[in-house]
Chain A
Amino acid sequence: MKFTLKVWRQNNAQDAGRFETYSLSDVENDMSFLEMMDVLNQQLIKEKKDPVAFDHDCREGICGMCSMVINGHPHGHVKATTTCQLHMRSFKDGDTIVIEPWRAKAFPVIKDLAVDRSAFDNIIQAGGYVSVNTGSAPDANAVPVPQDLAEKAMDAAECIGCGACVAACKNSSAMLFLSAKVSHLALLPQGKPEHKKRVISMVKAHDEAGFGSCTNTGACEAYCPKGISITNIARLNREYLTAALASEEAV
């Protein structure tokens, strides 16, 4: 297969950035998108040019490191897929492919296609945990958890923190990411004691990081590689409202 690639090149956060065009031949059907990028980089290195920087690690769709907007679609046009699990067989021979980084104020570009997602860590640090010190836990079967609740919590907990929801959202909102963690913990009895404090603190961190508001377009769900549902955002809103009403502090 042959492709024309238009790749976003940007030296650092200060640089304005630009598209560069490359042609690539000898791409195989079974290659993943990142393996295709490896071939491009090998070609650039052989030409003594600067290879394209991009984030990637596990290459099996679970670490959440890879992050490319491909022809306008975060992680590409195939549903419920990470960039590393997108394969060249889903493109047509001769296609032009446009490749960009996640674009959001809260995710500044480090170089080319690699962005800084520390804002996600900040949201989790604001309350995405159960306050339980090592060694203080009761027996694991002491508190039964209804199976459907455990399954629902798992559905939310599957979030890989890649940031595609933010890249897909016209407001650069991280509500899907945030709501997945809030839901996961609010659904389980272990997360209950802190659920009010958690949601208020995490929403605050979300807003402070520069993510936008949610206007319910559903783009995040459509592009989430793990199929996290926006019903989590509805749950987040309920959690937030009840917590805010119960709170004695100004929210």
Chain B
Amino acid sequence: MTSIHQPQKMKLDAKIPAGPLEEKWSNYRSKGKLVSPANKRRLDVIVVGSGLAGAAAAATLGELGYNVKCFCFQDSPRRAHSIAAQGGINAAKNYQNDGDSIYRLFYDTIKGGDYRSREANVYRLAEASVQIIDQCVAQGVPFAREYGGLLANRSFGGVQVSRTFYARGQTGQQLLLGAYSALSRQIAAGSVKMYNRHEMLDVVVIDSKARGIIARNLVTGELERHGAHAVLLCTGGYGNVFFLSTNAMGSNVTAAWKAHRKGALFANPCFTQIHPTCIPVTSGYQSKLTLMSESLRNDGRVWVPKKKEDRLKPPHLIPEEDRDYYLERMYPAFGNLVPRDIASRAAKVVCDEGRGVVKSGYAVYLDFSDAIKRLGKATIAARYGNLFEMYQRITDDNPYETPMKIFPAVHYTMGGLWVDYDLMTNIPGLYALGEANFSDHGANRLGASALMQGLADGYFVIPVTIAQYLADEIRTPRIDTNHPAFKQAEDQVKGDLNKLLSIKGNKSVDDYHMALGKIMWDKCGMARNAQGLKQARKEIQALRKEFWENVYVPGTANEFNPELEKAGRLADYFELGELMVIDALTREESCGGHFREEYTEDGEAKRDDANFLFVSAWEFTGTGNDPVLHKEELVYENVKPSTRSYK
């Protein structure tokens, strides 16, 4: 694990098309290059990941005639973590006639992201949102409907219109199964070859272009070489760096990190989303946290007792006048529907004041009693029945009778691989889609926007933008996997796996992962300061050193070995964790999910547009070395960045 890169001299070019905002994407599509059907058949594309972005991209590129290989580490593409998204997907359909429009969705997303995302990308996202709903309905996604048979909508945090489409509390599941069915159709047609239980462990770069991957067959342990004219990373987020998060156990940063080590820049790594409504931690053995959909805040009221001494009293014994509905008090305009970062921070503030409602002190109430009185139990059950049931199953408490206890938890990562307007990283031919890239959500993602972005990237953006690159690749023959670059990458992977197995130390992978998670949560979580971040970097480095000397990984590399998979992913988290801390330290302002205690005004986040109106894109220079910062200045031509106010 030595330094492999000399810092690159580069000027980041986002390649945003010229022209007015509303015309950029349509002009791009009308004037862009095309690849003829005969040539598409000769071009190979690798898609890593089979979530909303990956499955949508693989299916659509297959439909267009490209030769696609798709990889997922799960036992079936249908299990990618997009499946767990609950609440819904935004689209600017304006079916409710409540004043929504593409511009308004664009504006809300830019504002919600605290002015740290790219205007052109977000506008394109809002445009695509409309087509996404059409596509999903045609696939048979059973969205909620009104009695008249038309589509129903609900509202979500951070906005004042109803534009969220949903399928009970399982919207992610239904959208993913839609994309999975489209993917399955292409697998049957022979245009996509699917590799289940395969993990990408390196990207192969030849003459500075991405030309393939090294993948490990997780059942046999065999390393495989796969060549392609382009490689798409649709590998999700890195919330599990915190050990406890709402991500699936297998969600990981490895594919993105290997690309970063090969020269791809990593953008805004410190922008993580802490979701306000999750089930609080109960024990030291806890393996993951469970989200309760943000949609619950439509009807639930968040509160803690006014007096510290009431905090462990049964809630029904606390009279109305002794309750502090703090979100309604602090943010009267949006109340319980403020964006996620604001709701999370407010929960932290009241808990830090000693008013948290469980023994550990880290929980607040989400109370449905008013809504049940107003609408009746049946209506609430129809809206949230499955969520209530899930809550009761996990906590053994009945939310129809007693308020839910909730606390923020790591949920989503806005940061990711730096990409241009084409979704291409700075390595030609290497793309990043969905949560794996950084481009659309700035410093804070609005609810119901992740599904929108994953599907927009996969169904509607990449099929157009990839042609700009592949049109110039039609003379490149099939990639020869005997090229020395493949052997070199494979040897590196083999060496890393053998090293992990040879340490034979005394602590398990989980021991180290929990320790890393604690550093990240305490010092790079909901609130950060320079002193803590500096300390965190030292602690991570020391822990990483110990890991490489004292971890115990059982078994061999030539078999089904889940502990070995975990060890490799953790090794990458150590390096990512350090980069996140460096990024958080460098960004001397508070914006969105990044809250620096030194930069506040009346307790609220204080953004610094004069000095930090840029994307931080980091270049890898070797493990433990200082990375090099490249800045992409953010230009706002249509929206004037202002102080985000939800009061």
Q: How far apart sit A147 and B59, CA to CA, in the bound complex (Å)?
A: 29
Contact indicator A147/B147 (Cβ below 8 Å)? yes
Q: Which residues of B contact A81 (CB under 8 A)?
A: 393
A141-166 contact mask (Cβ, 8 Å, vs B): 1 or 0: 10111110011011001101100000
Given A118-B76, A121-B196, A144-B149, A184 and B140 touching (CB < 8 A)?
A: yes
Contact indicator A64/B135 (Cβ below 8 Å)? no
- For residue A178, give the distance in angstroms from its CB to the closest CB of chain B: 14
**Stretch from B79-87, B111-119, B488-496, B606-614 forming part of the interface with A:** B79-87
**Stretch from A29-37, A207-215, A232-240, A243-251 forming part of the interface with B:** A29-37
Contact indicator A130/B140 (Cβ below 8 Å)? yes
A75 located at the interface, meaning its Cβ lies under 8 Å from any Cβ of chain B in the complex: no
B579 located at the interface, meaning its Cβ lies under 8 Å from any Cβ of chain A in the complex: no
B254-295 contact mask (Cβ, 8 Å, vs A): 1 or 0: 000000000000000000000000000011011110110000
> Across the two chains, which residue of chain A brings its CB closest to B78?
A161
**Stretch from A1-9, A53-61, A93-101, A216-224 forming part of the interface with B:** A53-61
B626 located at the interface, meaning its Cβ lies under 8 Å from any Cβ of chain A in the complex: no
B24 located at the interface, meaning its Cβ lies under 8 Å from any Cβ of chain A in the complex: no
Q: Which residues of A contact B81 (CB under 8 A)?
A: 57-58, 63
B148 located at the interface, meaning its Cβ lies under 8 Å from any Cβ of chain A in the complex: yes
Contact indicator B137/A190 (Cβ below 8 Å)? yes
Given A53-B562, A58-B83, A125-B188, A150 and B74 touching (CB < 8 A)?
A: no
Q: Which residues of A contact B187 (CB under 8 A)?
A: 121, 125
Interface centre among A131, A150, A153, A185 (most CB of B within 10 A): A150
Given A138-B138, A141-B151, A53 and B560 touching (CB < 8 A)?
A: yes
Contact indicator A35/B287 (Cβ below 8 Å)? yes
Q: Which residues of B contact A32 (CB under 8 A)?
A: 287, 394
B159-187 contact mask (Cβ, 8 Å, vs A): 1 or 0: 00000000110100110010011101101
Contact indicator A135/B142 (Cβ below 8 Å)? no
- For residue A228, give the distance in angstroms from its CB to the closest CB of chain B: 13
Q: Which residues of A contact B60 (CB under 8 A)?
A: 133-134
A16 located at the interface, meaning its Cβ lies under 8 Å from any Cβ of chain B in the complex: no
> Across the two chains, which residue of chain B brings its CB closest to A120?
B76
Q: Which residues of B contact A65 (CB under 8 A)?
A: 74-75, 79
> Across the two chains, which residue of chain B brings its CB closest to A28?
B283
Q: Which residues of A contact B394 (CB under 8 A)?
A: 32, 85, 87
- For residue A78, give the distance in angstroms from its CB to the closest CB of chain B: 8
Q: Which residues of A contact B560 (CB under 8 A)?
A: 12, 53, 110-111, 114
Q: Which residues of B contact A57 (CB under 8 A)?
A: 74, 79, 81, 248-250
B345 located at the interface, meaning its Cβ lies under 8 Å from any Cβ of chain A in the complex: no
Q: How far apart sit A147 and B250, CA to CA, in the bound complex (Å)?
A: 37
Contact indicator B63/A134 (Cβ below 8 Å)? yes
B508 located at the interface, meaning its Cβ lies under 8 Å from any Cβ of chain A in the complex: yes
Q: How far apart sit A126 and B133, CA to CA, in the bound complex (Å)?
A: 25
Q: Which residues of A contact B144 (CB under 8 A)?
A: 150
Given A58-B81, A124-B180, A129 and B285 touching (CB < 8 A)?
A: no
Task: Report A33-68 residues with CB < 8 Å from chain B CB.
Answer: 34-35, 38-39, 42, 45-46, 48-51, 53, 55-65
Contact indicator A129/B139 (Cβ below 8 Å)? yes
- For residue B395, give the distance in angstroms from its CB to the closest CB of chain A: 8
Task: Report B420-478 residues with CB < 8 Å from chain A CB.
Answer: 459-460, 463
- For residue A33, give the distance in angstroms from its CB to the closest CB of chain B: 11
> Across the two chains, which residue of chain A brings its CB closest to B169?
A62
B312 located at the interface, meaning its Cβ lies under 8 Å from any Cβ of chain A in the complex: no
Q: Which residues of B contact A144 (CB under 8 A)?
A: 145, 148-150
Contact indicator A124/B181 (Cβ below 8 Å)? yes
- For residue B72, give the distance in angstroms from its CB to the closest CB of chain A: 11
Given A31-B285, A130-B140, A137-B135, A116 and B554 touching (CB < 8 A)?
A: no
> Across the two chains, which residue of chain A brings its CB closest to B133?
A140
Contact indicator A154/B168 (Cβ below 8 Å)? yes
A186-230 contact mask (Cβ, 8 Å, vs B): 1 or 0: 001011000000000000000000000000000000000000000
Given A35-B286, A140-B134, A59 and B249 touching (CB < 8 A)?
A: yes
A117 located at the interface, meaning its Cβ lies under 8 Å from any Cβ of chain B in the complex: yes
Q: Which residues of B contact A133 (CB under 8 A)?
A: 60, 63
A92 located at the interface, meaning its Cβ lies under 8 Å from any Cβ of chain B in the complex: no
A18 located at the interface, meaning its Cβ lies under 8 Å from any Cβ of chain B in the complex: no
> Across the two chains, which residue of chain B brings its CB closest to A63?
B79
> Across the two chains, which residue of chain A brings its CB closest to B59?
A134
Contact indicator B554/A50 (Cβ below 8 Å)? yes
Contact indicator A60/B185 (Cβ below 8 Å)? no
Contact indicator B249/A157 (Cβ below 8 Å)? no
Q: Which residues of B contact A114 (CB under 8 A)?
A: 75, 560
Contact indicator B563/A51 (Cβ below 8 Å)? yes
- For residue B636, give the distance in angstroms from its CB to the closest CB of chain A: 31
- For residue A86, give the distance in angstroms from its CB to the closest CB of chain B: 9
> Across the two chains, which residue of chain A brings its CB closest to B173?
A62
Q: Which residues of A contact B290 (CB under 8 A)?
A: 59-60
Contact indicator B510/A131 (Cβ below 8 Å)? no
Task: Report A6-26 residues with CB < 8 Å from chain B CB.
Answer: 12
- For residue B216, give the distance in angstroms from its CB to the closest CB of chain A: 15
Checking A39, A62, A85, A135 against B460 with a beta-carbon cut-off of 8 angstroms, the contacting residue is: A135
- For residue B480, give the distance in angstroms from its CB to the closest CB of chain A: 30
- For residue B97, give the distance in angstroms from its CB to the closest CB of chain A: 12
Q: How far apart sit A3 and B139, CA to CA, in the bound complex (Å)?
A: 47
B382-396 contact mask (Cβ, 8 Å, vs A): 1 or 0: 000000001001101
- For residue A19, give the distance in angstroms from its CB to the closest CB of chain B: 20
Q: How far apart sit A30 and B396, CA to CA, in the bound complex (Å)?
A: 9
> Across the two chains, which residue of chain B brings its CB closest to A56?
B249
Q: Which residues of B contact A145 (CB under 8 A)?
A: 145, 149
- For residue B250, give the distance in angstroms from its CB to the closest CB of chain A: 5
Q: Which residues of A contact B79 (CB under 8 A)?
A: 57-58, 63-65, 161
Contact indicator A124/B84 (Cβ below 8 Å)? no
- For residue A245, give the distance in angstroms from its CB to the closest CB of chain B: 24
Checking B59, B95, B177, B563 against A141 with a beta-carbon cut-off of 8 angstroms, the contacting residue is: B95
Q: How far apart sit A59 and B77, CA to CA, in the bound complex (Å)?
A: 17
Q: How far apart sit A81 and B170, CA to CA, in the bound complex (Å)?
A: 16
Contact indicator B139/A35 (Cβ below 8 Å)? no
Contact indicator B134/A137 (Cβ below 8 Å)? yes
- For residue A10, give the distance in angstroms from its CB to the closest CB of chain B: 11
- For residue B552, give the distance in angstroms from its CB to the closest CB of chain A: 6
B340 located at the interface, meaning its Cβ lies under 8 Å from any Cβ of chain A in the complex: no
A–B pairs, 20, beta carbons within 8 Å: A51-B554, A53-B560, A53-B562, A58-B248, A59-B288, A60-B84, A60-B288, A64-B78, A87-B393, A118-B76, A121-B77, A124-B78, A129-B182, A130-B140, A131-B185, A133-B63, A139-B134, A140-B133, A145-B149, A188-B140
B residues near A, CB below 8 A? 56, 59-60, 63, 74-79, 81, 83-84, 93, 95, 131, 133-140, 142-151, 167-168, 170, 173-174, 177, 180-182, 184-185, 187-188, 194, 196, 219, 246, 248-250, 282-283, 285-288, 290-291, 390, 393-394, 396, 459-460, 463, 508, 510, 552, 554-555, 559-560, 562-563
> What 10 A-B pairs are tightest by C-beta distance, nearest first?
A144-B149, A137-B138, A129-B181, A137-B134, A154-B142, A140-B137, A125-B188, A153-B142, A57-B248, A134-B60
* A-B contact sample (6 more), CB < 8 A, given A59-B288, A161-B78: A57-B79, A58-B79, A59-B290, A110-B219, A111-B560, A161-B79
